[in-house]
Structure 1
Amino acid sequence: MKVIVLLDQMQAGLGGKEKANTPLGGKKLAMGAADTYDKVLKKNGSEVMGTFYCGTDYYQGNKAEVQRKVTKMCEKMQADVVIAGPTYDYPEFATMACELADQLQKETAIPVVVSIAIEKNQTLIEDYQKLLTIVKMPKKGGTGLSDSIDRTIELCQLKVEQSDITEFVQQYCY
């Protein structure tokens, strides 16, 4: 399974809120939080083939451009699946993740999985839970992160295999 991970500047390891204007970028490797997914994927013969990152402020000011470029790059790289997150309880990043995931689903055939904590994101989750598959995850520093990572990868595998995800979604998603 070839996976692309979408992150904000913080989760990519590029800085905090002071770097929220970081332009869209990417690397053909697992950066920051994507490294956690990569370690789990490698146990199953899969890998993170790339990480796209964007500052949340930059995204808000350049939505159409960022969505278009992310969509084109995911298609060009022939990703099997895209993970948006982990966003933890960061509402700006969660919003960006949901909007990018929604755009990817509308414009491509690439399956997308989003990973968000409900803290500070309740309304956003309610707005997107019928459109996206959003895996439950803990807030930053919360317990259960490794389980959430494992479930995100499991859902990716189910989607790539085009398996029935109904039971999984009822148990582990919003």
Structure 2
Amino acid sequence: MEQKKWRVVCYINQFFGQIGGEEMAHVGFSVKHEAVGPARLFQELLRERCEVVGTVICGDNYFAEDTERGAAEGLALVRALKPDLFIAGPAFNAGRYGISCGCMASAVARELHIPTVTGMFPENPAVELYRKDTYIVKTGIMSSQLRNVAPVMAGIGLRLLTGEHIGSAAAEGYMIRDVILNEEQPDNAAVRAIDMLMKKIKGEPFVSELLPPNFDNVEPAPPVTDLSGVKLALVSDGGLIPEQNPDKLKPNGSTTWGHYDWDRLVAEPHFVIHSGYDGTWVLEDPCRLFPVDVLREEVSAGRLGALEPEVCVATGNCASVAASQDIGRQIAAELLNKGVNAAILTST
């Protein structure tokens, strides 16, 4: 008698769902009653014991604009497919895609009480939001590593279905979930503690069994009470730059930034290098990214002291935390040298 296979539902965005790129990020939910895109690879990996019965697809922008609505709509579609396992993504380092994958996996686990798995680059902002709610397998930055990470995701998913033991995050390759596992060790705690202490004293490498919390506290600057005497600057990670790209910004993972005279920037050929959003609306009216027109009116009315003529531009798409912090420090130093008192940061 043939063994009944577990039902698997996959979630992907419009790009992996073969609907389109950034120009189709606005599309809402749809369902294919078959394996589509990465789901085909999961079908191949799990074929002996599972069957992908459906692929839920949603545009990045549609989900990101209202995550509560997106989770509710997506959950209803997933529920109708009656899955035993839910696999989202992987999202790699794509921010909006990571949010939708994490949000969907969290909602499905909470409401349907079934195992869920997704995959992301460790610095994807969604990791910190959802790592406690689902298994997030570590991936590289780029989707070219799909075939490397999919077997890990499939393996964890299958073991969740069978109830087999899943080891620590470090051993299995998923993001730490703040769950303490009971594991038998060859040496007792006292011996292990002394061993770590001796290695620390000798300057040798060792791995602690308890990770200290890592809090990144950023103290907000004091609020500006009177703008009439303030010189204001505009900063954005939206990637609007001159056509020749003098500062060598990249579409994603950029480590550089630039500052450009606004009037010259918009008067000469320019483009949006940021590959994480549709720049059509910015090119139609650059003031949608940099509200120069409104702020100049404020200066003329005497409600704002002055507007710095140069804008600072970076590309936030898939940028690492370390690179972003470095860029931020450089921009801050530049603005201080220009006598800027406050800045407005706009994003995509």
C-alpha RMSD over aligned residues: 1.8
Aligned to 2:281: none
Task: State whether structure 2 residue 120 is matched by structure 1 residue 116.
Answer: yes
Within a 5 Å distance, the mapping from 1:4-153 to structure 2 comes to 4-42=9-47, 44-119=48-123, 121=124, 123-143=125-145, 145-153=146-154
Q: Using the TM superposition, name which of 22-31 and 101-110 deviates more.
A: 101-110
TM-score of the aligned structures, taking structure 1 as reference length: 0.87
Alignment partners' CA distance in 2, 1:19 and 1:103? 24
5+ residue gaps, structure 1? none
| Worse-superposed segment, 2-11 or 127-136 | 127-136
Residues of 2 paired with 1:72 and 1:161: CA distance?
A: 25
Counterpart secondary structure, 1:86: strand
**Structure 1 residues 127, 23: closer, same or farther in 2, change over 3 A?**
closer
Tell whether the 8 Å contact from 1:12 to 1:34 is kept in structure 2 after alignment.
no
Structure 1 position 131, deviation (Å): 2.4
Structure with the larger RCO, 1 or 2 (CA within 8 Å, 6+ apart):
1
Give the drift of 1:21. Answer: 0.3
Amino acid across the alignment from 1:39: E
Deviation at 1:100, TM superposition (A): 1.2
- Rate the CA distance shift 1:107–1:81 in 2: closer, same or farther, 3 A: same
For 2:130 and 2:96, locate their aligned partners in 1 and report how far apart those are by CA, in whole Å: 15
SS in 2 for 1:50: strand
1:162 aligns with 2:163: yes
From the superposition, tell whether residues 149 and 168 of structure 1 become closer, same or farther in structure 2 (CA, over 3 Å): farther
- C-alpha contact 1:5 1:84 (8 A) present in aligned 2: yes
Distance 1:141 1:131, change over 3 A: closer
Partner of 1:85, secondary structure, is strand
TM-score scaled to structure 2, two decimals? 0.46
CA pair 54-32 structure 1, distance change in 2 beyond 3 A: same
Shift of 1:168: 5.4
Comparing 48-57 with 126-135, greater Cα deviation is found at 126-135
Distance apart, 1:40 and its partner CA:
1.5
1:110-169: CA deviation from partner (whole Å, max 9, x where unpaired)? 2110111235x1x431332222210112222555x323111111111111112332x153
Segments ≥4 residues shifted beyond 6 Å: none
* Residue 28 of structure 1, CA deviation: 0.4
SS in 2 for 1:60: helix
Q: Distance in 2 between matches of 1:4 and 1:79?
A: 6
| 2:12 aligned partner, one-letter code | L
Instruction: Please give the alpha-carbon distance, in whole angstroms, between the structure 1 residues aligned to 2:112 and 2:25.
Output: 27
Distance in 1, matches of 2:144 and 2:50, equals 27
Is the Cα–Cα contact under 8 Å of residues 136 and 174 in structure 2 kept in the other structure?
yes
Residue 64 of structure 2 contacts residue 96 of structure 2 at CA under 8 Å; is this kept in 1?
A: no
